[in-house]
Structure 1
Amino acid sequence: MTIQSDVREISAGTRRRNRTLAVVGAVVAAVLVWVVGEPLLGNDMIIKAEGQEPQDLGASAIIMFALFFSLLGWALLALLERVTPRARLIWTVVALVVLAVSFFPLFTIEASGGTKVVLALAHVAVAAVLIPVFRATSTNARK
């Protein structure tokens, strides 16, 4: 029995559009988590790292972090697609490792438990949008 992949080759324009939508979707997902966590549930998104002043993480900070790391992920995938036939696999492993590592600062900052949960969920929301779309749009998706 042969398992056939339903992944089809997509044009560069379609790939670019889908990845752009994934970046937008990841940012929107992170902001939605923030909206539920801060304005709706009342968690003050204030964090304090050792030796620094407390920072209030507003929507703009959430947008900038989600946008920056989404675009960084896209750039890494595009680079890997140019240099290795295993780009999809390598990128996925790196993305999952980055997601796991992104939780470590939550153990080192001073913040309420609710704030830490909102931040963790924002990380998961970004990954939940980006990873499947970027994998599906990889030029190595058939390999």
Structure 2
Amino acid sequence: MMNILKVLLLISIFSISNTANSQDLLNERIRKIPEKKRSIFFKKGIFHSTNSNTSSVLKSIRHGNGSSRGYERLVFDFKTKEAPRVYGYKSEKENKIYIDFFKTKLDKKVGSFGTSKLVKKVDFYPVGDDTLSAELVISGQHSIDVFTLTNPGRLVIDIKK
């Protein structure tokens, strides 16, 4: 319960919207991020992992346009064997994805991942000494499928219309 409160606090810090447009996060569905692709896409809600609690470094973010598969894939690559603990929120109204990576730092070499058809921009915000927050702005309303992979650790987000 304490972890959910932390997620809600961090999301509220980075969400800039007035009361009329705010969302009731307490009524959102909470999903555990699986460790393999399951092709369960959702339009909104909270997602989290209980992965390793060790420190990590985000070394790159990349994407691929799998138009034949019907979705675009974003991959967050980490220097550790497992992805770090993650809490995120997919907002349907704001067309944004908010992600917190715990005990994670941003590698200085992480830059732009190129041109994407579905992702307008990705911004990173270091929070304290050991949390890295990311805000992904998506063009239009889309569904996402989120999962992790190991050796090396990766967080994968598939985005489809």
Q: Could you tell me the TM-score, scaled by structure 1's length?
A: 0.27
Would you tell me which structure has more helix in proportion to its own residues?
1
Structure with more strand by fraction: 2
Please say which structure displays the higher CA radius of gyration: 1
* Bigger RCO (CA 8 Å, 6+ sep): 1
